[in-house]
Amino acid sequence: MKQLKDLIDISRFYGSDKDFTLAGGGNTSYKDEKYIWVKASGASLATITEDGFAKLYREKVKITGEKQYSEDEHVRERQVKKDLIAANVHPEKGKRPSVETSFHELINYAFVVHMHPTFTNALMCARDSEQVTRRLFGDEVLYIGYAPGYSLFLKVKGAVSGYRKKFKHDPKIIFLENHGVFVSADTTAEIREMYTFLTDRIKSEISFLEAFAPLPEEKELDGILPYIRMKLSEDSSKVLSFRHSTLHRHFYDDGEQFGKVSKPFTPDIIVYCKSSYLYIEETSNREKLIASIDKKLDDFKRKHGCFPRIIVLKDFGLLSVEDNKESAEIALDVYEDLMKISFYSEAFGGPRFMSDTEIEFIDNWEVENYRRKISRGTASGNSIDQRIVVVTGGAQGFGEGIATDLVSRGANVVIADINDKMGKATTERLSQNCAKNRVFFKKTDVSDPGSLEELVHETVIKFGGIDVFISNAGILYAGGIDELSPAEFDKMTSVNYHAWYYCVRAAAPVMKIQSAAKPGYTMDMIQINSKSGLAGSNRNFAYSGAKFGGIGLTQSFALELAPHGIKVNAVCPGNFFEGPLWADPRKGLFVQYLNAGKVPGAKILEDVKRHYEEKVPMKRGCRVEDVMNAIYYVIDQQYETGQAIPVTGGQLMLS
């Protein structure tokens, strides 16, 4: 049906534009004589398909505009919800119609597109909104004062009835105070024209339009964000998102400016950010800041019964803390929109917040709590879900396999690799498989301590801390004593031995801060070592020696870091024959060993591979899933550290 295609197209058009809708908000509809298709709760307009719409019988939806419901607001909302669900043509699909379906049915045009545009809401959430709206748009638009839920529908119904008597047709633009706007027409092309018109008209009244610019993310945050994250991780570890821009600076300079963004303007803000936000002004030095954080978080929880989701840090920026990375990013998007609304509302008399009574209703409204639940999702229940994991050498080979498995289980993963092209490609591929978690790439040279410090800083800024650091990056040049040059030996040692120390040195301070904020919380440093770290390797002394040394470091780090809740272990895989380290046709180990004559009598690559498979009692090479089982064991257990765990198919057996 062409009309449904048009509905999907316009839904995606506005749903993917953050100036019009955020967090899957807004709703759209199309109706013919018998049915109405309206966005289902929880569907995202940006990616919606036909399956994202609830198909309803119009006659049954009309009942919600005619029926007498309870005088009790909360009982009434439940009754309306029940009737809307009962209007479903396909109840077996479990599609919950948008709470605003009755609005869509009320308006006689075929298409209705309801959005919460930033510039529209800068007017709708301003003290002089009604007066300015009348001046800008005249009487042919409707302006509706704020009301929640079904009460708002009744106000709109009465206003539309009066409008019809006066103009003999339905209004095409309905402005909703502290909410948004409904734009309706019989074609989506006309709706686009009207949205452009009203947005341009409002923007023409603002003389201080500004392109907000990013600001630097200070290095001091490495000692602050992990502390905040863990202080807020009471029942489970949270994920943090952080941003810093000229928009944030405008409001964090002093308490008076923060006051202009201290309460919500619209129901959507309450759904994703709650109704109270924390401002921390004492940031002159870390000690005073930490003391202020402790006191203000305790005070906030005593007053509100929960910790804040949004924190504004003077001189540093804006952060959100949530159960998952996706929700944390959404919260920042929505709160930044609140900031923009407040900023631009100064052109229309300054900001006007929702009242305490209005806020309380939305905070406790089942419909909005349902939206909040859908947005946040549910935890998978596995121990790695939403934890923050760094994987060095994560662009290919074992590292790529490790990262892939972690992402599939819901971990937030930072892929660190010196190969920029492969790293970006792997990150892009894995990002397509994310649910509520996220993947980022950071180009990193593990033989450079400064590069690793940048990696840790970037991880803290992206996620708020580090739970697991997997040192996997490694290189191997085969050769005997007379064949390997001193330069090659130094390079091998730098990447395979020194880098393990550099990784721990860079990540340990962040983990120690997390431990101080939440005593008893455990974290993991894991080196992907090798069977060559457990037994010498003929004509492979540089690699084997570095790996032996890595196990010595592992045991020593474990002793030093155990008091801080940091477990340090090594996983020692056997040969990964399918990976590029072995199988690369130009420089893989099969080629190197064949050329070096390491396997007597070998004529072709298959001879070399067969030789090494025969050394394994289980007659095959190590696989990614074998290594992952060891990694998850290390993370899950709470009473083991300093171990070197063989994953060799029986090729090496410890006694």
| Residue 409 and residue 386 in contact, taking contact as beta carbons nearer than 8 Å | no
Cα Rg of the chain, angstroms: 30
Which ranges constitute the DSSP H helices of 365-463? 366-376, 397-408, 420-431, 449-463
- CA distances to 209, 241, 249, 361 from 339, rounded to whole Å, are 14, 17, 11, 23
User: What pLDDT does residue 84 have?
Assistant: 92
CA dist 53 and 58 (Å) reads 14
- CA distances to 154, 185, 237, 375, 403 from 50, rounded to whole Å, are 29, 20, 37, 20, 34
| Residue 390 and residue 466 in contact, taking contact as beta carbons nearer than 8 Å | yes
CA dist 598 and 582 (Å) reads 14
Cα–Cα nearest to 270, from 150, 365, 147, 339: 365
Residue 57 appears among annotated catalytic residues:
no
* Given 543, 593, 633, 639, the catalytic residue: 543
Enter the tokens of residue 114: 């309801």
User: What pLDDT does residue 22 have?
Assistant: 83
Mean pLDDT of the region 115-125: 97
| Residue 563: Cβ within 10 Å count | 9
DSSP 377-399: -----STTTT-EEEEETTTSHHH
User: What pLDDT does residue 377 have?
Assistant: 56
Question: Would the pLDDT of 428 be above 50?
Answer: yes
- The domains located in the chain, with CATH, are 2-203 (3.40.225.10), 219-376 (3.40.225.10), 388-574+623-647 (3.40.50.720), 577-621 (no CATH)
DSSP β-ladder status, 317-322 and 173-176: unpaired
pLDDT band at 343 (very low <50, low <70, confident <90, very high): very high
pLDDT band at 372 (very low <50, low <70, confident <90, very high): very low
Question: Would the pLDDT of 368 be above 50?
Answer: no
Burial of 93 (0-12, 13-18, 19+ CB in 10 A): exposed
Q: In sequence order, what are the beta bridge partners of 54? A: 38
pTM attached to this predicted model: 0.91
pLDDT band at 373 (very low <50, low <70, confident <90, very high): low
Question: Would the pLDDT of 370 be above 80?
Answer: no
User: Which one-letter DSSP state was computed for residue 214?
Assistant: B
| CA angle (505, 511, 514) in 5-degree steps | 155
Q: In sequence order, what are the beta bridge partners of 242? A: 319
User: What pLDDT does residue 336 have?
Assistant: 97
